[in-house]
Every structure is written in structure tokens, then in C-alpha cells.
A and B are shown apart, each in its own frame.
Chain A
Amino acid sequence: SAVISQKPSRDICQRGTSLTIQCQVDSQVTMMFWYRQQPGQSLTLIATANQGSEATYESGFVIDKFPISRPNLTFSTLTVSNMSPEDSSIYLCSVYGGSGDTQYFGPGTRLTVL
């Protein structure tokens, strides 16, 4: 399967600031997604990162709060804007179409907002 890395692996941020999370894949993939996993909870899809166009957001998530870029077939960023303690979560990217026809997850970024 594709090797997926995320940066940073964890961060502690002050409320009102923004953090950009990077997701890098070692091979070209068809699809990239961003998920959120709140402490002790399941995974929730934030958006599909579309290469060369605006991301497709799920209900409850908006571009102003979670701007996403995908400039090529191996890289995507998720920004968490104007953070509040409620944004404290693990943010995971997943990829589809690199090898095999299933989704694989990156290691996640653990975000704590104070």
C-alpha cells in the first residue's frame, strides 16, 4: 500500500490561531480525503480534496473553517482556522487509488487547542 505521512504529528495551539496540516503520499493517488476523530469517538468525513479544484465538504463543515488544498496527486493540506478548544481532535488524511481499491489512512495529526 501507499506510504502516507502527515505533518505535524501533533501540536498544541492557542485559540484563535490557525494550523495547516500536510498529507504526503509516496505515489500518485486518485482520491484524498480528510477525517476528524474527536477523543474517544469515531471518524467523521470532513471533505474530499479534489486535485486542481475546490474541495467537496460534508454537512457541518465549511471552507472558511477548514480550507483544503490539493495541488497535485500526491499532496494535500487541511487548515483548521480560528481554532477553539472544540477543534481538539485527531485529523487524518486517507487516500484511495494508489495501490489497491480501498482507503488507507495516514498516521494522523493530534491537535490540542488551549
Chain B
Amino acid sequence: GENVEQHPSTLSVQEGDSAVIKCTYSDSASNYFPWYKQELGKRPQLIIDIRSNVGEKKDQRIAVTLNKTAKHFSLHITETQPEDSAVYFCAATRGGGADGLTFGKGTHLIIQP
């Protein structure tokens, strides 16, 4: 089955700086890679996703890149703000999102004021 590794487990950055979280996956048939943000006591919220037919996707301050050859994908957050503080999870699956997700272990992002 799929295995997703996520690094780092904790990331502390100064407000206004950029943050990068990296994930690798093992199943070459995986074709859908979402990122979820989870604040304490709340449900995971989708913040961005990417499919295997594109290499990069941006949404305002958030971007995701995908390298299918190396089987890794990354989340980039620019101009970080205090409200970006949360746990971020990457995930991977086949079936374009219609299959169950395999999650990484999560990254606790701390934005220092």
C-alpha cells in the first residue's frame, strides 16, 4: 500500500517569512495529493491540492509543487501570518481523490510574532 513521509514534524518561522513542508510517497500509481490544515479541536480543512498531470499550483500565498519522478511534493506558504499556525497534513491516493487517503504524520507550523 501507499506510504507517505512528511518533514519536518515541527517548523517554527518568523512572521512574514516563508515555510516549506515536504512529503514523499511510495506508490507510483498515486495521482492526487491534497494538503489539509487542522487547527486545534477542529476538523481538517483542505487548503490546496494537486493532481499528477500538473507540476505546480498556486492559490494566493499557498503553492504546491509535485515531482512525479522523485515521488515528492511540497507545500509552500509565503508571507506567513499568525493565523497560519496549525498542523498541516499531506496525503496521497489513487483514483483522483475518490479513494481513501493515506496521510503523512503532520507538521506543526508555529509562526513567531
Contacts and interface: CB of A to CB of B under 8 A. Distances in A.
A53 interface: no
Contacts, number: 50
Interface of B: 1, 34, 36, 42-46, 49, 89, 96-106
A30 B46 contact: no
Interface of A: 30-31, 33, 35, 41-45, 48, 58-59, 92, 94, 96-97, 101-108
B43 A107 contact: yes
Given A42-B103, A102-B34, A103-B34, A30 B98 contact: yes
Nearest to A96: B98
A32 to B, nearest CB: 10
Contact of A105 (B43, B105, B106): B43
